[in-house]
């Protein structure tokens, strides 16, 4: 079994929506992975911000194995204890006064949030929602209707929902768009798929004030940014501005599929019996994995670790003087190399050749979302190699 074998078989049997990935990964250990040809890489993608504890973490592996051996599935017709503990834990981490809906993915968590917004809007004469240009909330049709990336949205429109888009980070534009007819505002604390683009300081607080003044719900899409990615459990905690609805996924399960939608205060009981559901949501194995992730982050101090190693990573990138590199942005272990031109695919390929997995998320931006266990030395190994990576990319592009 080689990379070439697996890539060829992949191309033969899968729909072409992903293209054919460049390598086939077969195993991992910590922040390192190996492909089918035996080549080792430092994983600076983390399964797109999913692999919080890296690969093969013994606590996660034990939790999954133990729960799978005991009870792997119950459906939502019966209570299972891991899902209850996970919901209790998430409510506590978010500050209390909330209820939880467990799903399988980020887009499903956002579907739940959208249905809460729609039901709230119908009950209060609020027919539209507001989202941001270049925002990403998922690829199911409801979540896609909120997604402001025209390249992936337009081929599947028109959509049934009245969604009005505003420039991200522009509080005045948001204020003008949100009236007492608006049901909800969907925001990412930092836009991930747009290239890890943070808003100006105070933007989320301004959004909270605008929603409070008009009665619109504030929905924080923390699919990428939560569970320690920015050095806090949730990115909204950096501004201490809690939303009305919060969505989570990616890093929560550490590699197991689990998403969550939390609604606070009076909005916690918007859904009545029968309003929403998920066959696999609340799966005990996924819930056990998520509890193992949360326990390990807390026990090993990974919030502070992510902040500190993220600063090392950012400082090392900022110190590189290269004509292809414009700078670095982001927070914690969620960063982007900002390029001076559309060379991100070439940088991704050159980094891979040098033993680093990174993500060309935009033409001029390369996303870094490594496991939260990335060491300081591993971060420095990347920044030390970066000038040569950029040289190689420059020659290739």
Which residues, at least 6 apart from 334, have a Cβ–Cβ distance to it below 8 Å? 49, 190, 192, 196, 224, 225, 229, 230, 310, 368, 369
The residues, any chain, with a CB within 8 Å of residue 126's CB and separated by 6 or more, are 120, 180, 181, 182, 183, 215, 216
The one catalytic residue in 136, 204, 234, 271 is 136
Distance of CA 245 to the CA centre of its chain: 16
Q: Where are the domains of the chain?
A: 3-56+301-396, 59-300
> Which of 250, 271, 356, 364 is flagged as catalytic?
250
Averaged confidence pLDDT in the chain: 97
Against a cut of 0.75, is the pTM above it? Answer: yes
Annotated binding residues: 106-107, 136, 139, 221-224, 278-279
Q: Is 250 a catalytic residue?
A: yes
Task: Render pLDDT for 181-230 as a digit per residue (tens, 0 to 9).
Answer: 999 999 999 999 999 999 999 999 999 999 999 999 999 999 999 999 99
Residue pLDDT tens, the chain, 397 long? 899 999 999 999 999 999 999 999 999 999 999 999 999 999 999 999 999 999 999 999 999 999 999 999 999 999 999 999 999 999 999 999 999 999 999 999 999 999 999 999 999 999 999 999 999 999 999 999 999 999 999 999 999 999 999 999 999 999 999 999 999 999 999 999 999 999 999 999 999 999 999 999 999 999 999 999 999 999 999 998 999 999 999 999 999 999 999 999 999 999 999 999 999 999 999 999 999 999 999 999 999 999 999 999 999 999 999 999 999 999 999 999 999 999 999 999 999 999 999 999 999 999 999 999 999 999 999 999 999 999 999 999 7
115 is catalytic: no
Question: Could you give the CA distance from residue 18 to residue 15 in angstroms, rounded to a whole number?
Answer: 8
**H helix intervals, 160-283:** 171-177, 203-214
CATH 3.90.1150.10 matches 3-56+301-396: yes
Binding site members for N(2)-acetyl-L-ornithine: 139, 278
Which candidate in 221, 271, 356, 364 is catalytic?
221
**Known active-site residue 119:** no
For 59-300, the fitting CATH number among 3.40.50.300, 3.40.640.10, 1.10.1580.10, 3.40.50.12780 is 3.40.640.10
**pLDDT tens-digit series, residues 344-387:** 999 999 999 999 999 999 999 999 999 999 999 999 999 999 99
Tokens of 345: 């695919």
Long-range contacts from 114-117, C-beta under 8 angstroms, 24+ separation:
114/142, 114/143, 114/146, 114/161, 114/184, 114/186, 115/142, 115/271, 115/275, 115/276, 116/217, 116/245, 116/261, 116/263, 116/267, 116/270, 116/271, 117/183, 117/184, 117/186, 117/217, 117/219, 117/245
């Amino acid at each position: 079994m080689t990379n070439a074998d697996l890539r060829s078989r992949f191309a033969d049997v899968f729909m072409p929506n992903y293209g054919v990935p460049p390598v086939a990964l077969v195993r991992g250990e910590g922040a390192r992975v190996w492909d089918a040809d035996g080549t080792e890489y430092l994983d600076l993608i983390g399964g797109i911000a999913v692999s919080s504890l890296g690969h093969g973490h013994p606590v996660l592996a034990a939790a999954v194995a133990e729960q799978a051996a005991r009870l792997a599935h119950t459906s939502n017709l019966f209570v299972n204890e891991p899902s209850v503990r996970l919901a209790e834990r998430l409510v506590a981490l978010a500050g209390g006064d909330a209820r939880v809906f467990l799903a399988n993915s980020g887009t499903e968590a956002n579907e739940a949030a959208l249905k809460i917004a729609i039901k709230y809007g119908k009950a209060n004469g609020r027919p539209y929602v507001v989202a941001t240009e270049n925002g990403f909330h998922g690829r199911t049709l409801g979540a896609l209707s909120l997604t402001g990336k025209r390249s992936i949205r337009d081929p599947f429109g028109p959509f049934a929902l009245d969604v009005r888009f505003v420039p991200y980070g522009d509080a005045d534009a948001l204020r003008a768009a949100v009236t007492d007819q608006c049901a909800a505002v969907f925001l990412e604390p930092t836009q991930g798929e747009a290239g890890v683009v943070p808003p100006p300081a105070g933007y989320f607080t301004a959004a909270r004030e605008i929603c409070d003044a008009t009665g619109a719900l504030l929905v924080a899409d923390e699919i990428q940014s939560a569970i320690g990615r920015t050095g806090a459990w949730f990115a909204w905690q950096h501004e201490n501005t809690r939303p009305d609805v919060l969505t989570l996924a990616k890093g929560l399960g550490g590699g197991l599929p689990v998403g969550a939608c939390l609604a606070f205060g009076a909005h916690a009981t918007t859904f009545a019996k029968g309003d929403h559901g998920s066959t696999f949501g609340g799966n005990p194995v996924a819930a056990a994995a998520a509890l193992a992730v949360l326990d390990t982050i807390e026990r090993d101090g990974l919030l502070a670790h992510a902040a500190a190693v993220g600063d090392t990573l950012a400082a090392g990138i900022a110190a590189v003087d290269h004509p292809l590199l414009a700078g670095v942005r982001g927070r914690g272990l969620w960063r982007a190399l900002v390029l001076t031109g559309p060379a991100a695919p070439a940088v991704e390929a050159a980094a891979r050749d040098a033993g680093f997995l990174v993500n060309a998320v935009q033409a001029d931006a390369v996303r870094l979302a490594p496991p939260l266990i990335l060491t300081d030395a591993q971060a420095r190994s990347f920044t030390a190699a970066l000038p040569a990576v950029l040289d190689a990319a420059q020659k290739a592009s």
